[in-house]
């Protein structure tokens, strides 16, 4: 079954627990399977590979997939659904801020340990959510550009390797991506994460400008930018926005 953005939604069932996963084809040399903190599963396969071949590979990895999902369930229980009411806490750059809501011109303001949301109309949960999403999306580019400049200042080799475009784009299961044309896309939700995690995602995509795979060369480049990238990745994988 086809999904949005060229993604196929595949369903496996062999009498046991059914599995649904998202399949995307890309300019890559190998097939990769990922389990995400929200327990979803995705696969990226080279162009030209038959979907049934990917199904078979995913099926063989079912024991591993199940172990990963159990690990996430144990160490990273899913956060309670947001209600977008006063007193609720929301994240920005890894810190928690308490929500305050009042009547006034539509907008969001960060003050001290509070996120003040003002609404001209009665502040329904949907309206507060929309205003917060707009605020996060507006703040994220300036944060990402500033962190990018910091990484470039630390690594001379990056001065000749810059993204052709740095854009913010909502993504369901990814924090960031890098296209073969050098365009880096970052999830606006990333601005809720600690700065070290933001640096890790940016560095990961920047290194893809030199190595599009995850070869030893890629790992060396990533380590030169973020020496503790493994810890940052682990923290990001257990991060709940």
Residues 99 and 155 reside in one and the same domain? yes
75, 99, 134 - which closes a domain = 75
User: Using 50, 70 and 90 to split pLDDT, how confident is the model at 1?
Assistant: very low
75, 97, 118 - which closes a domain = 75
44, 75, 106 - which closes a domain = 75
pLDDT at 14: 60
Residues 102 and 131 reside in one and the same domain? yes
Residues 93 and 66 reside in one and the same domain? no
User: Using 50, 70 and 90 to split pLDDT, how confident is the model at 77?
Assistant: very low
Residue bearing the bigger pLDDT, 163 or 2: 163
Within-domain flag for 84: no
What is the count of structural domains for the chain?
2
pLDDT at 67: 81
- Domain containing residue 116: CATH number: 3.30.2010.10
pLDDT at 2: 39
Q: Out of 75-79, 184-188, 228-232, pick the least confident.
A: 75-79
Residues 161 and 121 reside in one and the same domain? yes
Residues 56 and 98 reside in one and the same domain? no
- Residues 177, 205: contact at Cβ < 8 Å? yes
Domain that holds residue 34: 4-75
> What average pLDDT does the segment 161-186 reach?
85
User: Using 50, 70 and 90 to split pLDDT, how confident is the model at 36?
Assistant: confident
Residues 131 and 186 reside in one and the same domain? yes
pLDDT at 240: 55
Residues 66 and 153 reside in one and the same domain? no
| Per-residue 3-state assignment (H helix, E strand, C coil) for the chain | CECHHHCEEEEECCCCCCEEEEEEEECCCCCEEEECCCCCEEEEEECCCCHHHHHHHHHHCHHHHHHHHHHHHHHCCCCCCCCCCCCCEEEECCEEEEEEEEECCCEEEEECCEEEEEECCCCCHHHHHHHHHHHHHHHHHHHHHHHHHHHHHHCHHHHHCCCCEEEECCCCCCCEEECCCCEEEECHHHHHCCHHHHHHHHHHHHHCCCCCCCCHHHHHHHHHHCCCHHHHHHHHHCCCC
How does pLDDT run across 109-161, given as a tens digit for each residue? 999 999 999 998 888 999 999 999 999 999 999 999 999 999 988 887 777 77
User: Using 50, 70 and 90 to split pLDDT, how confident is the model at 76?
Assistant: very low
Residues 55 and 102 reside in one and the same domain? no
Residues 117 and 68 reside in one and the same domain? no
Residues 133 and 193 reside in one and the same domain? yes
pTM (global) more than 0.95: no
């Amino acid at each position: 079954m086809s999904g949005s953005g060229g993604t196929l939604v595949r369903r496996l069932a062999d009498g046991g627990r059914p599995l649904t996963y998202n399949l995307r084809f890309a300019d890559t040399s190998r097939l990769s399977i990922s389990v995400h903190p929200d327990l979803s599963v995705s696969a990226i396969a080279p162009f030209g590979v038959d979907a049934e071949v990917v199904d078979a590979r995913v099926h063989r990895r079912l024991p591993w997939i199940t172990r990963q999902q159990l690990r996430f369930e144990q160490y990273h229980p899913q956060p309670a659904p947001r209600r977008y009411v006063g007193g609720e806490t929301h994240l920005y750059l890894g810190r928690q801020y308490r929500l305050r809501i009042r009547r006034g011109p539509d907008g969001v303001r960060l003050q001290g340990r509070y996120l003040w949301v003002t609404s001209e109309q009665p502040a329904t949960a949907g309206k507060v959510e929309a205003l917060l999403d707009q605020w996060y999306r507006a703040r994220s580019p300036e944060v990402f550009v500033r962190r990018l400049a910091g990484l470039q200042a630390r690594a001379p080799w990056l001065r000749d390797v810059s993204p052709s475009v740095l854009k913010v784009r909502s993504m369901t299961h990814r924090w960031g991506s890098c296209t073969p044309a050098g365009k880096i896309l970052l999830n606006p939700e990333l601005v809720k994460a600690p700065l070290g995690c933001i640096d890790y995602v940016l560095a990961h995509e920047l290194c893809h400008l030199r190595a599009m795979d995850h070869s030893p060369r890629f790992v060396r480049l990533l380590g030169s930018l973020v020496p503790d990238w493994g810890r940052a990745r682990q923290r990001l994988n257990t991060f709940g926005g």
